Structures are given as C-alpha cells and as structure tokens.
Amino acid sequence: MLKGKKIVLGITGGIAAYKAAELTRQLVKEGVDVKVIMTRHATEFITPMTLQTLSGSPVFTDMFTPIKDFEIAHISLSDFSDIIVIVPATANIIGKIASGIADDILTTTIMATKSPVLICPAMNVNMFENAIVRENINKLADHGFYILEPGSGELACGTIGKGRLPELAVIMEKIKYILTEKDLLSEHVLVTAGPTREPFDPVRFITNYSSGKMGYAIATAAYRRGARVTLISGPTHLQIPHGVNFISISSAREMRDAVMANLSEATVVIKAAAVADYRPSICETQKIKKKNEDLEIKLEKNPDIIEEIGQKKEERILVGFAMESEHLVENAIAKMVKKNMDFIVANDVTKQGAGFQGDTNIISILDRDGEMNELPLMDKTQVASIILDKVKLIRENRRKNPTSLTGTFPFAWKTVGDGDKVK
Ligand code: CTP
C-alpha cells in the first residue's frame, strides 16, 4: 500500500539513529520514495552516506547547501512529502517543534509542511518522564502531530524503563494507518480467521491447513480504514494486528460463542475462518493409548456459525467465504443463498496461488444482485481491500435505497457458467 508514496524521514541525534537506516531500507523495499533529512547531531551517530546509499537520494543536512532539483530545500521537501516521519525524535527536536523554532532544515521543513507528521520519540527514561518533555509531547498531540509511544526495556544508557524507539514494525504500521483514507469510520467489523481445533483427547485434535492470513489481512485493512475491528481467531502463527480487539478461540463451538457474544455491536461480519464442520463426539480426558486394533472416531456436526448469523442478520452486512475444489460458482451461490450472506468470496483451491497457506489468492466475488467479479491472482492484502471496497459499496447503496434491507433475494438464481453477470 506504500508503493509510490513520498516520505521525508527526519533523523535526529540519538543512539537509535542507526535504526532509521533499517527503516529506510524497509520503506524503499515497499516502493516508497524516501528523502532523508539529518540534523547535525544525527550525523554524529550515523553517516549521511549510509542513508544516501539506502534511500538512493541525496541526504539533506544543511539548509544552505543547494541540491540539484531542490531549489529551496525545506519548501520543496515539505511539499514533496505525503508524510514526515521523525525517527528517532529526541527531547530536543520535540521541544523545538513545540516552541515553533525553525533553525535548521528539519525544523523548517516541519514548520512549512501541511502533511501529517509522525514523531517517534526515543530517549532516556528520565528525559521522557520530564514534565517539560511531557508537556511538549501533549502540546504536539493537541496540534495534530502523531506521536508513537516509546517502548519499554533496557535503554542505551543502561537504565530500564520507557524510552526505547518503538519497534520498526510498529512504525511501519503507523505510517500505513496514517496514510490510509478513513472511509469505514462508522463500521464495526467482526472478522473470524484461522482454523478451528476439535480435540479427541488432551493431546490430539482435528484441524485444517488454514493459516489465518486472509482474515488477518482483512482485520488489518479495516482498522487502517477507520473501522472498529473485532478479530476472533483460531490458532495461527501470525502477529496480532495492531489496533484490533483480539479474541483467541480454539474450537468451532468457542468461535460460535465468541461471535454471538460480540454480534450485537457488529455492523459488518466477515467469516474468513475455516471452521471445522465436524468434531469428535467424545473428547477423552486421558490420552488414548495405542492398541492392536484400529481406532474409530465418531464425528458430530458443529454449529454453522454464519448460518446462525444469517438468521439474525438485520441491517448487518454479512460476508462469507467458499473454498471449493469443483463447481465453484454453483456451490458458492448455494452457500450465499442458504446462509443469507450479502456476498461471498469464492476460491478454487485447486488453482495455483489460491487457498490456505500462501500470501496470494484468486477469488471471485458473487453478490445477491447477481454480479460476479472474477479477479486475477493477487496478494491477500489486495484481496482484503477489494472485499472492504465491496462492503463500502453495499453500505452506500443501502443508504440510497433502504428497502434493500429486507434480506430477501429479489430474483431467482440460475446455474451459471462463464461471464461476469450471472443473473
Ligand atoms: N462456516 C461457519 N460455520 C461452520 C462452517 C462454515 O460459519 N460450521 C462459514 C465459513 O467461515 C465460510 C462459510 O461458512 O464463511 C462457508 O464455509 P465452507 O466450509 O466453505 O462451507 P460449508 O457450508 O461448510 O460447506 P462445505 O464444507 O460442504 O463446502
């Protein structure tokens, strides 16, 4: 999502300055045009040559040294940027900005900009807790500057406390959050993700290959777009997305209970989880011991969570997934109708690049108006954004035409073949 963005990275004189080099590398890797400004003190900690090499652009350290294509550097840089990020931000730079001081290229660029500014403080714990620094930070926050809370831990000066530069992943996520248009502010999106585990003794269970990546990508994208997000997830190896209300569950029945407990608040429900349809009828309290004969495990049906939501859908937008190995369109339509979804995201697991474990998916979106949109292979983050665009469109259409809230289908579905209109 950062591809093509323009970021001015301001580096000030703290030991965490070296971490700005890795941040530059990560931003460039994501397709960002990074222009680096270093204060004089920053150059004591890391050389401009390092940042020039990593950013692929000249580094700005002085207001009066002309650089080709940047006639009046601070004005050009403040106009150039989609966002200015200060990593690390010392007590000194925070104090200067809060006091309106503009005496070097970084502070003049910040004073002249209309772009958002993200400040990532890093300093000694006593400095961070100093009442004047606190006052300055609060003042900047009141003026609309974005401030990231420093992390806690061992600091470069040997003390333990708050003052570490936030993790680079946290800074990257915050940049993405700030640069994303907030077009889902009025929605509360409940997302389910990952597999469920259905135990039959204390150490064994039935599950599936779901990685949770699709659901987590949707939760992340919805949060960035301003929605409140509840993510109910089965066991995965993924990092919990920033800013979401995260609920961890294991079995389908636990997922069902968590969904129902949170349903009243949700305006949108997206069921990306791969819920086990069956569970072992009995879960032994002791580990099953090996015997000479074969073992049979009887399975019984799990609740169909999305079907239950469909019955009490009200004005909620309900989105389901269908993972099929044959008759993709027919099966997906049947599921959408039966479970009263607004639209269904269908994918054919037999296709290379679609399905559970990977970072990509190949989907078709089928809706209750008879539209089918077949999309090419794409990243799961792109798929997430297309799903949320569709949610937004349905909400806009409903606002224009509230009678479409009845939850009934206005037409009879036909078995469909190719084409993008299946009515
Ligand atoms: N789903 C659910 N509860 C279940 C099973 C599925 O909420 N017990 C949801 C999934 O999260 C998905 C949709 O229903 O959004 C379709 O899931 P899928 O497993 O493809 O459909 P099933 O109805 O279980 O049909 P089948 O397994 O026969 O394909």
Number of domains the chain is built from: 2
pLDDT tens over the chain, length 423 residues: 899 999 999 999 999 999 999 999 999 999 999 999 999 999 999 999 999 999 999 999 988 776 666 655 666 888 889 999 999 999 999 999 999 999 999 999 999 999 999 999 999 999 999 999 999 999 999 999 999 999 888 877 777 888 999 999 999 999 999 999 999 999 999 999 999 999 999 999 999 999 999 999 999 999 999 999 999 999 999 999 999 999 999 999 999 999 999 999 999 999 999 999 999 999 999 999 999 999 999 999 999 999 999 999 999 999 999 999 899 999 999 999 999 999 999 998 888 888 777 889 899 999 998 899 999 999 999 999 999 999 999 999 998 887 654 444 444 444 444 444 433
User: Are 174 and 202 part of one and the same domain?
Assistant: no
| Atom 9 (ligand 1) nearest CA | 306
Is 336 a pocket residue for ligand 1 (Cβ < 6 Å)? no
Is 279 a pocket residue for ligand 1 (Cβ < 6 Å)? no
- 303: CA distance to ligand 1 center in Å? 10
Asked if the structure places residue 206 within a domain, the reply is yes
User: Are 96 and 242 part of one and the same domain?
Assistant: no
User: Are 151 and 200 part of one and the same domain?
Assistant: no
User: Are 374 and 305 part of one and the same domain?
Assistant: yes
- 310: CA distance to ligand 1 center in Å? 12
Adjacency order of strands within the sheet including 363-367: 245-248, 228-233, 188-193, 268-271, 317-324, 343-348, 363-367, 372-374
Is 306 a pocket residue for ligand 1 (Cβ < 6 Å)? yes
pLDDT for 71 equals: 57
Is 244 a pocket residue for ligand 1 (Cβ < 6 Å)? no
Q: Is the pTM of this model over 0.75?
A: yes
Closest CA to 10 of 129, 68, 96, 130: 96
Residue that terminates a domain, selected from 179, 201, 219: 179
pLDDT for 159 equals: 79
User: Are 150 and 273 part of one and the same domain?
Assistant: no
Asked if the structure places residue 227 within a domain, the reply is yes
pLDDT for 69 equals: 63
Beta strands in 254-390 (DSSP E): 268-271, 278-280, 299-301, 317-324, 343-348, 360-361, 363-367, 372-374, 378-379
Asked if the structure places residue 353 within a domain, the reply is yes
Asked if the structure places residue 423 within a domain, the reply is no
Residue 142 sits at φ, ψ, to 5 deg, of -60, -30
Closest CA to 173 of 308, 310, 301, 1: 1
Q: Which atom of ligand 1 is nearest to the CA of 273?
A: 11
Under 8 Å between Cβ of 346 and 369: no
User: Are 207 and 351 part of one and the same domain?
Assistant: yes
Residue that terminates a domain, selected from 145, 179, 213: 179
C-alpha 178: how far from its chain's center?
12
Is 305 a pocket residue for ligand 1 (Cβ < 6 Å)? yes
Asked if the structure places residue 421 within a domain, the reply is no
**From 49, 141, 157, 393, the catalytic residue:** 157
User: Are 229 and 287 part of one and the same domain?
Assistant: yes
Paired residues of 67 in beta bridges:
70
CA distance 252 to 353: 27
- 304: CA distance to ligand 1 center in Å? 7
pLDDT for 201 equals: 97
Asked if the structure places residue 420 within a domain, the reply is no
- 109: CA distance to ligand 1 center in Å? 53
- 230: CA distance to ligand 1 center in Å? 20
Residue 90 sits at φ, ψ, to 5 deg, of -80, 170
| Atom 18 (ligand 1) nearest CA | 322
User: Ligand 1 test: best mutation among 275, 308, 326, 344, most atoms within 8 Å of CB?
Assistant: 275
Residue that terminates a domain, selected from 156, 179, 202: 179
| CATH code (residue 38) | 3.40.50.1950
| CATH code (residue 226) | 3.40.50.10300
Asked if the structure places residue 344 within a domain, the reply is yes
- 39: CA distance to ligand 1 center in Å? 56
CA distances from 281 to 192, 235, 278, 288 (A): 24, 21, 9, 14
User: Are 106 and 22 part of one and the same domain?
Assistant: yes
Asked if 157 is an active-site residue, the reply is: yes
Tokens of 162: 């708050």
User: Are 100 and 193 part of one and the same domain?
Assistant: no
Domain carrying residue 10: 6-179
Is 321 a pocket residue for ligand 1 (Cβ < 6 Å)? yes
Q: Which helix (H) or strand (E) holds 127?
A: helix 125-129
Is 372 a pocket residue for ligand 1 (Cβ < 6 Å)? no
pLDDT for 416 equals: 42
User: Are 99 and 208 part of one and the same domain?
Assistant: no
User: Are 266 and 410 part of one and the same domain?
Assistant: yes
Is 335 a pocket residue for ligand 1 (Cβ < 6 Å)? yes
User: Are 118 and 175 part of one and the same domain?
Assistant: yes
CA distance 333 to 324: 12
CA distance 193 to 419: 30
